């Protein structure tokens, strides 16, 4: 190869393929620092390069689910910060790369933060007694005061176990974001309700009132009225299924 080919005239497509075939994120970062031309290619294509790397080498398990969780969580957080009801019709598929578009750098950073959280939880699952200072004695006479000595799977299967745990954690976050608007809808509707007793429901969350105070004393809300209010919300409908199930 002629001297200076990579740093001067190498086609962008070839550099992208080199980036995507590198073993790790650190290797990609190091390669990006070799010269200005390669660094420019990195700056313009960093997210697509990282996604390709993580999908191939397993360095970031379930990266697609993590990205969906990050995007949906952002929508919920922004709605709550604006004192608005989060969307009640969010569909996870709409936030995927295929439908939501390529991620921005900030979205990828948010997804990476969820990865570190999932990784910490995975360690906690492996060492569920790590935070128990007292010694525990079991029926068979065995004792423990720290993490178990064995992992939940054989060493050869731990990468698979870890990837599945990460995916489960991200999907739990996705479900939480998708349901945030649905489960908070009664509290937002209560704020503008014509019945002052119903409006107190919102203050339980916002001002820390005791929930039991709603149902006792003068002007208390009858349980039947409370259930009648909740009846109109799918997440709190307590009667027989409307679909005949």
Beta-carbon contacts of 35 under 8 Å, excluding residues fewer than 6 positions away, are 6, 7
pLDDT of residue 211: 63
The reported pTM is 0.75
Q: How far apart are CA 115 and CA 106, in angstroms?
A: 14
Give which of 96, 224, 98 is closest to 170, Cα–Cα: 96
pLDDT of residue 126: 76
Query: If you average pLDDT over residues 89-93, what whole number do you get?
Result: 92
Phi, psi of 137 (to 5 degrees): -115, 125
In b/e form, how buried is each residue of 146-155, taking b as 16+ CB within 10 angstroms?
ebeeeeeeee
pLDDT of residue 142: 57
Full DSSP string of 34-54: S-HHHHHHHHHHHHHHHHHHH
pLDDT at 56 over 60: yes
Q: Please give the residue that has the higher pLDDT: either 130 or 79.
A: 79
pLDDT of residue 153: 81
pLDDT tens figures, 146-182: 555 567 788 888 889 999 999 999 999 999 999 999 9
Cα 203-204-209 angle, rounded to 5 deg: 100
pLDDT tens figures, 115-150: 999 999 888 877 655 444 455 555 555 555 555 556
| Residue appearing with tokens 């990476």 | 112
């Amino acid at each position: 190869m002629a001297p200076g080919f990579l740093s001067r005239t190498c086609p962008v497509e070839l550099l992208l393929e080199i980036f995507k075939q590198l073993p790790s994120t650190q290797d990609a970062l190091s390669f990006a620092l070799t010269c200005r031309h390669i660094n420019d290619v990195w700056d313009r294509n960093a997210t697509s390069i990282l996604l390709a790397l993580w999908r191939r080498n397993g360095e970031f398990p379930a990266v697609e689910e993590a990205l969906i969780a990050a995007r949906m969580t952002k929508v919920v957080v922004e709605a709550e910060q604006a004192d608005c009801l989060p969307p009640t019709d969010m569909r996870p598929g709409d936030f995927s790369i295929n439908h939501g578009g390529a991620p921005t750098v900030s979205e990828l950073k948010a997804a990476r933060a969820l990865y570190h959280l999932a990784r910490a939880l995975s360690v906690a699952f492996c060492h569920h007694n790590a935070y128990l200072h007292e010694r525990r004695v079991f029926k068979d006479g065995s004792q423990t005061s720290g993490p178990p000595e064995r992992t939940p799977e054989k060493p050869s299967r731990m990468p698979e176990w870890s990837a599945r745990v990460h995916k489960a954690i991200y999907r739990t976050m996705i479900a939480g974001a998708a349901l945030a608007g649905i489960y908070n809808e009664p509290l937002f509707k209560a704020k503008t309700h014509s019945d002052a007793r119903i409006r107190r429901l919102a203050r339980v969350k916002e001002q820390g009132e005791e929930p039991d105070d709603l149902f006792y004393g003068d002007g208390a809300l009858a349980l039947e009225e409370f259930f009648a209010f909740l009846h109109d919300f799918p997440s709190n409908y307590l009667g027989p299924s409307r679909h005949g199930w």
